[in-house]
Chains A and B, each alone.
Chain A
Amino acid sequence: AQSVAQPEDQVNVAEGNPLTVKCTYSVSGNPYLFWYVQYPNRGLQFLLKYITGDNLVKGSYGFEAEFNKSQTSFHLKKPSALVSDSALYFCAVRGVLYGQNFVFGPGTRLSVLP
């Protein structure tokens, strides 16, 4: 069965500092991995994805994530946090087998303090 863990409910970081939001996953076979962001009272917006190839993927708003197969992790990172990055972040996984659905983690609330 597929599963996603986001071990931190909340991450606080000062503006200008680097940020990391952690994600680990479990899936049969190779994974498709995604990060989504949700601002208050809004739907989820796609940030970035890992499908294949380079382990470091770059996405919207300066975010990047590193796929680590041995640690089954896909941590989200940004070199310099902005107050406007404060939001709820979801990691999601889908197996590559045909017909598999997305499974989402519980979410991590990021607060960037001025």
Chain B
Amino acid sequence: NAGVTQTPKFQVLKTGQSMTLQCAQDMNHEYMSWYRQDPGMGLRLIHYSVGAGITDQGEVPNGYNVSRSTTEDFPLRLLSAAPSQTSVYFCASRNRYQGSSYEQYFGPGTRLTVT
């Protein structure tokens, strides 16, 4: 049971480049989400998904796209990287329904630098 995995661990992009951050979980969780972590701002929700085929925007969605074709995978796409997207990105998952453990499980993070 690997939990939540993320790749890559580190990435440097030039302004305007695109890339996809990968996230996978093996706990059969319905709910998955992407956060970015910036100093002094905690974690801010980018996008989330309550199940395969269903995604929605969080607090800071601009410049990012997501899709959810399977329960296990939830990739985050940066369409045209900007220096403001320099951050640490975390993927998380949890059970969706009442009676579950409620807490979220986090991946190890991807540190992205945009120059």
Contacts and interface: CB of A to CB of B under 8 A. Distances in A.
Interface of A: 4, 9, 32, 34, 36, 41-46, 49, 51, 90, 94, 99, 101-107
Contacts, number: 49
B12 interface: no
A101 B107 contact: no
B45 to A, nearest CB: 6
Interface centre among A9, A90, A107 (most CB of B within 10 A): A107
Nearest to B40: A106
Contacts of B103: 34, 46, 49
Contacts of B41: 106
Interface in B7-59: 33, 35, 40-45, 48, 50, 58
Q: How large is the interface on B (under 10, 10 to 19, 20 to 34, 35 or more residues)?
A: 20 to 34
B90 interface: yes
A43 B106 contact: yes
Given A44-B43, A46-B105, 20 more contacts: A34-B104, A36-B106, A42-B109, A43-B4, A43-B107, A43-B108, A44-B92, A44-B106, A46-B103, A49-B102, A51-B102, A90-B42, A99-B50, A101-B45, A101-B48, A102-B33, A102-B104, A104-B35, A104-B44, A106-B40
A30 B55 CA distance: 26
Contacts of A34: 102-104
A101 B43 contact: no
Contacts of A94: 102
A98 to B, nearest CB: 8
30 contacts: A4-B42, A9-B40, A34-B102, A42-B108, A42-B109, A43-B4, A43-B106, A43-B107, A43-B109, A44-B90, A45-B106, A46-B103, A46-B105, A49-B102, A49-B103, A51-B102, A94-B102, A99-B50, A101-B48, A101-B58, A102-B45, A103-B45, A104-B35, A104-B42, A104-B43, A104-B44, A105-B42, A106-B40, A106-B41, A107-B42
